[in-house]
Amino acid sequence: MFRDYFPKLREVFWKRMAVLIVLSFVFAVVGAAQNAAPATEPSAPDAPKPLPGLNDPAISGAQVDLGTYVIGANDVLSIVVFGNKEFTQLYPVRTDGILTIPLFGDMKAEGLTPLQLKKQLTETFSEKLRDPEVSVTVWEVRSKKYTVAGQVKRPGAYPLIHPVTVFEAINEAGGFADAFANKKNILIIRGANPAATPLKFNFEDYLKGKNRDKNIELQNGDTVYVK
């Protein structure tokens, strides 16, 4: 009886050992795979994209008179607070004439010159910073512009940074596109009153020294049209 029992006992024992060996092998393989494959971390969110044009290498700062230029809506200002990178950046003036300063909130910029805004910012920063040194310049003029259209080499919109006459505007646009451009009857359409009768400028007469008083100074929104 016992002789028959021991062979069966040995058979059961070795079967169980085989199962344990197989399970140990499986667990070892799974553990190695987990160690070999590092946990995947969630990707960082994309950095916010800058506003169009703010980082264009072609833009080096508008050459405006800091004491006379009047800041307008949509202008882009460069504000530097020396030693404080947190506040040193480009600030677009909103359509309501307001710019937002981190930690300080909204501030009216439209209607001020850069020097006036500098004084205002210095007083504001002094509330939390010790003897702040502030610089304000106009990085890009977007509030004041004129347009040159028609038969010129570079038609398009141009910033009205400083006083510009119709003669200067045509030269800024590269001059006339070809010999067929009408240089004697150049039209100036006033942006403030586009329905009014256009003003006229004779380029050829001006070159001859005639009607020098007719070299019209452009206003914001004006269009110079060369037929």
Q: Give the Å distances, CA to CA, from 138 to 69, 80, 109.
A: 9, 12, 12
pLDDT of residue 80: 94
Tell whether 157 is covered by a domain: yes
State which H helix or E strand residue 18 sits in.
helix 2-36
* Number of domains making up the chain: 2
Domain boundary among 114, 140, 166: 140
Domain boundary among 112, 140, 168: 140
Rounded to an integer, what distance in angstroms lies between the CA atom of residue 141 and that of residue 204?
31
CATH of the domain at 201: 3.10.560.10
* Domain housing 199: 145-226
The tens digit of pLDDT for each residue in 97-139 reads 999 999 899 999 999 999 999 999 999 999 999 999 999 999 9
**Domain check: are 158 and 200 in the same one?**
yes
The tens digit of pLDDT for each residue in 139-187 reads 999 999 999 999 999 999 999 988 899 999 999 999 999 999 999 999 9
Burial (CB count <10 Å: 0-12, 13-18, 19+), residue 30: exposed
Closest CA to 183 of 162, 164, 210, 156: 210
Rounded to an integer, what distance in angstroms lies between the CA atom of residue 16 and that of residue 213?
112
Q: Residue with structure tokens 């150049």?
A: 186
Burial (CB count <10 Å: 0-12, 13-18, 19+), residue 50: exposed
pTM above 0.95, yes or no: no
**Domain check: are 125 and 152 in the same one?**
no
CATH of the domain at 81: 3.30.1950.10
